[in-house]
Each structure stands twice: as structure tokens, then as C-alpha cells.
Amino acid sequence: MLRPRIIPCLLVQNGGLVKTVGFQNPKYVGDPINAVKIFNEKEVDELMVLDIDATNRHTGPNFDLIRKLAVECRMPFCYGGGVTTLDQAKKIINLGAEKVAISSAALLNTSLLSEIGLSIGKQSIAVVLDVRKKKKLFGDTLYEIYINNGNTKLNVNLIDFVNELNKIGIGELVLNSIDNDGEMKGYDFDLIDLVRKNTDFPLTVVGGAGSLSDFKDLFDRYRIMGAAAGSFFVFKGKFRAVLISYPTKEEILTLYKTI
């Protein structure tokens, strides 16, 4: 039976593992390969690795890191950061990643998604949308899409773009709340509701998880859903001491009782 996935989302900057709050002030938390080794032992469902500076610096994907991750990972993993061409996407898959995450390039050149889908399969494409609240208008929360690690706002309507993705076809949509990033206060259900009712794609959400109850709230509300998080898996306690962790099998079972 299908069940929700619990996914550590690792942010990489200059080859190191970092964590941000609101996409700002990245804090170094260790070596990504060492983190993967720990997650292997904990038998995580899936891993997402995002290079948060590759697009800004026009460096392209870090193929050396991807190769090392592929050798070490015992779980499916998705890699994103700096992907702008079909050849880059194909190389990432050939190195051993299951999925390629695309953000800025997907928004600036949707034809790239069709091109990649025809070559390596739509199921291998994960489109990442970094979204920030704008304001409330007559009780409705409005959202804006950002690229380049949250530094550039696009004049693109969120739902219009989701509808365009519906026509193109992708394997997964990753919805990332900039406002909730690193806050550890729960997911943005208004945002998830808005997107969920406009697409049937497999949906993974990230931004805000700080406790097991946050995962349970998500699963109780949406059932089959990818729950990604960063801080929850790398910090411990109110002082945010660095500690790589993952729920035990017993803890995970308690999250699925209502599914």
C-alpha cells in the first residue's frame, strides 16, 4: 500500500551542508556525505539535495558531489541546483539520481521540461516552486513565486503556472514555503490547499516542520503526500544543536494510523 514519504531536504552551499531561515543566513551544519551515511543507517524513505547557490553563481550542477552521493545513498534521491539543460539532467540521472529537481529554469523555460520528459521520462522531473506570501485580499492569502534562492520575484501567477505544468506533465511538484523555511512551526496549509485543489501531481511540501505532530497533521489532512523538511532532521532542542536524526519505525507508524 502506498504511504506518505518522509524526506530530509539537505541544502548544500560551497560543498557543505547548511540550513537557512527564510532562505537567509545559512548556518553550516556538516558534511553532506556524512549526513547521507547517517540517513542510510536510519533507513529514510527518500533524500532531496538542493545546491542553493548553483543557479545564482551560474556554476551548473556539482557533478562530483552527485557522483559521491549516488555511490553512498541506499535510498532514492533527488538532486537540484543549476540545472538548465537536457544534457545536465541526463547526466544527473546517469550518475544515479532518481529525480532531477528544476526550479528557475522550469519557470523561465517551460519547454525544457517537455524536452527532459521526452528524453528521460516525466517521472524523473521534480519542479520546485519557492513561494512567499504577498498579502491578504478580502480574506484570501496571495502567493508569489521566487527564483534564484528567493532573491528574484517573478510576475507569474502561481495557479496559472501549476495549470501549465498540468498540461506539460511532470513527475512531482515540490512546494517550498519561504515564509516557513527554518521556522519549525508547521506547514502552510493555506498554500497546500490552494495548490492541491489545482493539480493531481504527486506533491511534496517543505518549509516549517518542527515536530512529529507537524507530519501527522499533514498526513491526516492530505493522506498520500511527501513531507520534506530540513531543520527537523539536522537540529535538536530549542538551542538548535546540530544532530542528524530521523523518526524511528515505531514513531512513523503512529503517523499513519488514520491513513
Convert the pLDDT of each residue in 113-153 to its tens digit: 999 999 999 999 999 999 999 876 666 778 999 999 999 99
Q: DSSP labels for 70-103?
A: HHH-SS-EEEESS--SHHHHHHHHHHT-SEEEES
pTM of the model: 0.94
Q: Give catalytic status of residue 193 as yes or no.
A: no
- Given 51, 130, 181, 214, which residue is catalytic? 130
Q: Is 70 exceeded by the pLDDT of residue 10?
A: yes
Convert the pLDDT of each residue in 188-213 to its tens digit: 999 999 999 999 999 999 999 999 99
Which CATH number goes with the domain that contains 69? 3.20.20.70
> What is the number of domains present in the chain?
1
Q: Name the packing angle between helices 158-168 and 111-120 (round to 10°).
A: 30
CB-CB contact of 185 with 193 (8 Å): no
In the chain, the DSSP E strands lie at: 5-13, 16-21, 24-30, 47-51, 77-80, 99-102, 125-137, 140-147, 152-153, 172-177, 203-206, 226-229, 235-236, 241-242
Convert the pLDDT of each residue in 99-115 to its tens digit: 999 999 999 999 999 99
| One-letter amino acid of 33 | I
pLDDT of residue 120: 95
Containing structural domain, residue 247: 5-255
